[in-house]
Amino acid sequence: MSEVALTLEGWYALHDFRSINWTAWKSADDEDRAMALDELQAFIQDWSEIEASKLGSSTVYTIVGQKADFVFMHLRETLEELNAVETAFNKTTFAQYTTKAYSYVSVVELSNYMGGASGGDPMENPDVIARLKPTLPKNKYICFYPMNKKRDLDDNWYMRSMEDRKSMMRSHGMIGRSYAGKVKQIITGSVGLDDWEWGVTLFSDDALQFKKLVYEMRFDEVSARYGEFGAFYVGSLLNEQSFEELLKL
């Protein structure tokens, strides 16, 4: 049996993708729409208190294309808290004008592929804690995709030695580091939590950097030989004002 990679886990993550029922939204009267928007704004405003207390983080982005209209991304300490924030939205008037497009449940993860032995309890290291319990970036654009490592005959990631996997991930990680300052990423693990094994969420002020980063990584062995990818979702940051603009008739 190959050596199992060790991981540290932080906050649980929910990507909650929704589509707007435009027929229902257009059919609603002005008073109902105003009430729905007020409740939506109150729901979003609650996030600032949670972030200020360092108990979690949330953000919302539009989604370009037909897969969804927008996504809420939430980070919370427990699955129960994720469920509570999802339920809180479902109870809003605005939620009645949306349909559920897709969701992804995972947990922020750091593995021992990249790091060396540093001594001491890593959970007492402020840099580690900042990566495991991050405040979500508010960059202009987001890109999310789920992925697996292959388990096909000779191309079985899980049958490679720890030494081989570390070497490949080190090379893979160096590509990501070359985009420091251009792209921020949050890796979440979802083995046993959702249909894929990891979720990758990228943030940038230049959407073309997503294309450049992912394309360059396609030539790295980790992706070229062992990577399997789900659907990609890309969009732009929403705030109260831009959400109102999105919903304006």
Whichever domain contains 145, its CATH number is: 3.30.70.1030
Mean pLDDT of 136-155: 95
Higher pLDDT, 216 or 248: 216
Structure tokens at 35: 């009430």
Whether 97 is covered by a domain: the verdict is: yes
Give the mean pLDDT of 42-53. 92
* 194: three-class secondary structure by DSSP: coil
Q: Is residue 170, in this structure, part of any structural domain at all?
A: yes
Q: What mean pLDDT is predicted for residues 36-44? A: 93
- Residue 63 placed within a domain: yes
Q: Is residue 2 part of a domain?
A: no
> What is the rounded average pLDDT for all residues in the chain?
93
Give the model's pLDDT for residue 199.
98
Could you count the other beta carbons within 10 Å of the beta carbon of residue 209? 19
Note the pLDDT of residue 5.
87
For 227-242, write each residue's pLDDT tens digit: 999 999 999 999 878 8
Q: Which residues neighbour 208 within 8 Å (Cβ) at sequence distance 6 or greater?
A: none
171: pLDDT strictly greater than 60: yes
Tell me, what's the pLDDT at 117? Answer: 47
> Which of 143, 148, 113, 110 has the alpha carbon at shortest distance from 127?
110
Rounded CA separation 71/55 (Å): 20
Catalytic residue flag (residue 145): yes
Q: Residue 220: what pLDDT?
A: 93
Cα–Cα dist 225/223, whole Å: 6
Per-residue pLDDT of 198-210, as tens digits, reads 999 999 999 999 9
- Does the pLDDT of residue 13 top 90, yes or no? yes
Q: Write down the residue that tokens 């649980």 correspond to.
A: 12
* pLDDT surpassing 60 at residue 108: yes
Does 113 have pLDDT greater than 90? no
- At residue 115, the pLDDT reads 54
In a domain, 148, yes or no: yes
Distances, alpha carbon 26 to alpha carbons 15, 18, 20, 100, 247, in Å: 26, 17, 11, 19, 10
User: For residue 204, what are the CA distances in angstroms to 70, 73, 136, 212, 235?
Assistant: 17, 15, 12, 12, 11
pTM: 0.94
Q: Helices (H) and strands (E) in the chain — how many of each? A: 8, 11
End-to-end alpha-carbon separation of the chain, Å? 60
1 assigned to some structural domain: no
Summarize the confidence of residues 139-156 as an average pLDDT.
94
| 163 within domain boundaries | yes
Q: Report pLDDT digits (tens) over 85-104.
A: 999 999 999 999 999 999 99
Nearest to 19 by CA among 65, 88, 87: 65
Give a yes or no: residue 154 inside a domain: yes
Q: How many domains does the chain have?
A: 1
Are 178 and 109 contacting, i.e. CB atoms less than 8 angstroms apart? no
Range of the domain at 187: 7-247
Tell me which of 12, 113, 141, 145 is the catalytic residue: 145
Give CA angle at 9 (57, 197), nearest 5°. 95
More reliable by pLDDT, 67 or 48: 67
The whole-number pLDDT of residue 2 equals 79
Token output for 148: 């697996």
Q: Read off the tokens for 245.
A: 């603009």
Confidence at residue 114, expressed as pLDDT on a 0 to 100 scale: 59
What pLDDT score does 153 carry? 83
